[in-house]
């Protein structure tokens, strides 16, 4: 009996881990990333401002002092799919990404890259907010689908328990009715 309860608890814990992952992604996606470009006569300084994704959610400021240009970084999966992100390239060859993750959709990244490069070329100040919709979407998926699965799983595991309790209750009622009939038969025979 105890073994069955332990086995039933494992899928619930497994599904709950996905729900927690989804909530984490949702929470992380809610914090936008602010990019601020401040050109000076000899160099372009870029500040990236974001909140940390773990409590106590401190502000993280990354200052890139000598930015040459914005480029698009790409990552290829084992299945052949390619994802992208915008990165800042410094004069000494370092690349600092705006987001830690790659996501699909080349065109939005290209538009941001072109805008940033134009700002760097024109030596103008620029502020931009990067919304982390990629994380919000995956957070929503990882929260909603496992939540529905957990709900269905809990309902399915409770049904047999309720049915068996009802079966025992019916059986007990039936046996008590039979005993009552026996006593009535005995009483009837004594009275006669």
pTM of the model: 0.62
What is the pLDDT at residue 104?
Answer: 86
- DSSP-derived secondary structure letter, 65: -
pLDDT in tens, 62-93: 888 889 999 999 999 888 889 999 999 999 99
User: Is residue 111 pLDDT above 80, yes or no?
Assistant: yes
Task: Supply the mean pLDDT for the chain.
Answer: 79
User: Is residue 58 pLDDT above 80, yes or no?
Assistant: yes
Q: What is the distance of C-alpha 56 from the center of its chain?
A: 19
What is the pLDDT at residue 171?
Answer: 53
CA separation for the pair 45, 182 (Å, rounded) = 96
User: Is residue 3 pLDDT above 50, yes or no?
Assistant: no
What is the pLDDT at residue 75?
Answer: 92
What is the pLDDT at residue 67?
Answer: 92
CA separation for the pair 177, 173 (Å, rounded) = 6
User: Is residue 20 pLDDT above 90, yes or no?
Assistant: no
Residue 67: name the closest of 33, 34, 101, 94 by CA: 94
97-101, 148-152, 161-165, range with the lowest pLDDT: 161-165
What is the pLDDT at residue 149?
Answer: 83
Decide which of 53 and 25 is more confident. 25
Residue 85: name the closest of 29, 26, 120, 75 by CA: 75
Sheet of strand 82-90: strand arrangement: 67-76, 82-90, 95-97
- DSSP-derived secondary structure letter, 91: T
Decide which of 130 and 117 is more confident. 117
Packing angle of the helix pair 133-191, 2-30 (nearest 10 deg): 150
Total H helices, total E strands in the chain: 3, 7
């Amino acid at each position: 009996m105890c073994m069955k309860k332990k086995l039933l608890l494992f899928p619930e814990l497994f599904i709950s881990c996905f729900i927690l992952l989804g909530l984490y992604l949702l929470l992380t996606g809610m914090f936008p990333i602010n990019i601020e470009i401040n050109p000076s006569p000899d160099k372009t300084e870029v500040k990236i401002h974001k909140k940390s994704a773990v409590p106590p959610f401190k502000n993280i400021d990354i200052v890139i002092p000598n930015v040459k240009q914005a480029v698009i970084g790409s990552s290829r999966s084992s299945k052949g799919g390619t994802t992208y992100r915008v990165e800042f390239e410094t004069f000494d060859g370092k690349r600092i990404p705006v987001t830690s993750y790659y996501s699909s959709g080349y065109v939005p990244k290209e538009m941001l890259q072109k805008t940033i490069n134009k700002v760097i070329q024109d030596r103008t100040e620029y502020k931009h907010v990067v919304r982390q919709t990629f994380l919000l979407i995956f957070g929503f998926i990882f929260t909603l689908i496992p939540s529905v699965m957990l709900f269905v799983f809990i309902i399915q595991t409770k049904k047999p328990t309720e049915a068996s309790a009802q079966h025992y209750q019916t059986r007990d009622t039936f046996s008590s009715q039979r005993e009552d009939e026996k006593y009535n038969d005995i009483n009837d025979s004594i009275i006669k």
